[in-house]
Amino acid sequence: MAQNFYLKIEDSISKQPNVLDSINYFKRHSDYSALKQEVDSVKSKLYKLGYLDAHWNNLEKENDSVFHVAATLGQPYKNIRIYYDTKKLPPTALRQLRIHDSNTYFTLPFKEVEQTLKFINQKISDQGFPFNTAQLQNITKADNHNLTANLIISGQDSKRYVDKILVKGYEKFPKSYLKYYLKLKTGKTINLSEVKQQTNLLQELPFANQIKEPEILFSKDSTILYVYIEKTKSNTFDGFLGFGTNEETSKLELTGYLNLELTNNLNYGESLSLAYRSDESEQKSFNAQIKLPYLFNSPIGTELELDIFKKDSSFTTAYQAAKVTYQLNSKNQFSLGLKSIKSNNLLSTANLNPFIKDYQSTFYNIGYQFINRLKNERLFKRNAQILFETGLGNRTIKTTKDRQVQYYLNAFKIFNLNVTNSIYLKTASFGLFSNSYLENELSRFGGINSIRGFEENSLNATFYTLLATEYRYALSPILYIHSIIDIAYFENQIIDQKEKLYSFGFGFGLETKAGLLRFNYANGKSENQTFQFSNSKIHLSLSALF
């Protein structure tokens, strides 16, 4: 059986164990070498607390298993006044330390000296002097409780700059993303702390990932920054099927939606999305969108969009949009755009609807986008999002022009209560303000992407606002269940309709090999309707990454 050794340390003068006990040193040790190391550790800790004049006796053996050491600790030094050269010490270091004693010195509690020196060294390194170090010299006693010292900055005086940036692993990573998204540029002062912060943004990119932290190679004449990146799957396919009962025929009807998004296939950071939807009310829509970021190696990008909508045999509406975008940083984007809309009445003269007419509209828009991505999340890649756009325009019917104002908002946030519980909140709103309205210019909403429990795009509005909520409970890292409570309010100025809508239900999400499978069961009703199971809707969607 191995023998244990026990250590006793005491102050030979005061015999008070308070200070020594506060060190929380280990008393029991497996061998003599570990015991002796513990004594050295206690000496170091007491030195950092200001017991610079402590005198230690030799380690003595009381019996076969107990060792004793006595110390004369004396009084600790409480403060130290540190004199410094204003040209050597970074001004940001003093500001962040909130030291305002003098232009030539500052005073610290002695126990904070080590931490403060580490902080100052880091600030010196961040200023482009990675080989310079701060240390205290000429430490002298001012009185029984205070010390003075000189802060000396030693090392190379030449500032280091980034001369070259090399990407390892994904050599075709878009160079514009290095410059404007990660904000890594040659010629900048080398600051490893800042570089690590910036490369962590790679975790938010859908098409790239950081393999390991960046490294810096210093040579006599150059400084090379190495960034380690891998290309990841970023193409997505999203589709769903909706099930519902036709109120007139009482037959089961299906709706469908397909969305394909191709991202960074040309190693430019570009994206192309194609979406097709077929709804229960003989409505069909097609949408194509191209996003080209960082044109001509600048923070300016562009977005082009085409959308075509057909309502049975009543009308078709097509709009084209072009935006110029400015990527402020990894999360925030601003845009200016132009949208042109053209709608055609398909009804015959005998079946003419006075609220469906041929028209053309032009809108000048400004927009804002905020996206917070979480790369390490398996199920919910985006934690928060805000999309807002508003514009002024004119609608022309033959020779009559009407001034119009339009806005659109779509935002959501996931509040993670703990590992298994979270709350999802989504809001969406649309408003069209005009002297007169046409049916073929109204916004259409309802369904899995707005208020659930209603047919896809079955609700027409000049104005609407909604709140969709889910309480989510994770049964495992790949499976969660959730509640559905949605509310909405909308207006249709054409028929003077103002109505509140409610939806209740449940659902689940499951990560499969094919992608994220979502199931929603919801029952929707207006404020004047009674609850009926026949109004329930079932939605299935699959989001695949490839």
Q: Tell me, yes or no, if the two domains 5-72 and 243-545 fold the same way.
A: no
The CATH number that domain 243-545 falls under is 2.40.160.50
Q: What is the rounded radius of gyration, in angstroms, for the C-alpha atoms of the chain? A: 34
Q: How confident is the model at residue 156 (pLDDT cuts 50, 70, 90)?
A: low
pLDDT average, residue stretch 371-391: 87
Give residues with Cβ within 8 angstroms of 139, minimum separation 6: 80, 147, 148, 149
- Residue 101 predicted with pLDDT over 60: no
In the numeric block, which tokens belong to residue 80? 């130290």
CB 231 within 8 A of CB 208: yes
pLDDT average, residue stretch 215-233: 92
Domain layout of the chain by residue ranges: 5-72, 79-154, 164-231, 243-545
pLDDT average, residue stretch 292-314: 93
pLDDT given at position 389:
98
Reduce the DSSP state of residue 371 to 3 states and report it: strand
DSSP string of 418-465, one letter each residue: SSSEEEEEEEEEEEEE-SS--GGGSEEE-STTSSTTS-TT-EEESEEE
pLDDT average, residue stretch 92-118: 78
Query: What are the Cα distances from residue 245, in Å, to 33, 146, 251, 455, 521?
Result: 81, 85, 5, 10, 13
Overall fold of domain 79-154: Ubiquitin-like (UB roll) (3.10.20)
Strand partners, 280: none
Q: Does domain 5-72 have CATH number 3.10.20?
A: yes
Reduce the DSSP state of residue 40 to 3 states and report it: helix
Mean pLDDT of the chain: 88
Per-residue pLDDT tens for 176-212? Answer: 999 999 999 999 998 888 899 899 999 888 899 999 9
- Residue 415 predicted with pLDDT over 90: yes
pLDDT average, residue stretch 285-300: 94
User: What size, in residues, is the chain?
Assistant: 546
pLDDT given at position 120:
87
Higher pLDDT pick, 235 / 242: 235
- Residue 165 predicted with pLDDT over 60: yes
CB 470 within 8 A of CB 486: no
Reduce the DSSP state of residue 118 to 3 states and report it: helix
CA distance 27 to 347: 94
Higher pLDDT pick, 498 / 238: 498
- Residue 361 predicted with pLDDT over 90: yes
- Residue 377 predicted with pLDDT over 80: no
In the numeric block, which tokens belong to residue 542? 């699959």
The closest of 282, 269, 253 to 206, measured between CA atoms, is: 269
CA angle 50, 37, 145 (to 5 degrees): 5
Q: Are strands 497-511 and 479-492 parallel, antiparallel or unpaired?
A: antiparallel
Reduce the DSSP state of residue 222 to 3 states and report it: coil
DSSP class of 282: S
In the numeric block, which tokens belong to residue 328? 């402020």
- Amino acid identity, position 372: N
- Residue 464 predicted with pLDDT over 60: yes
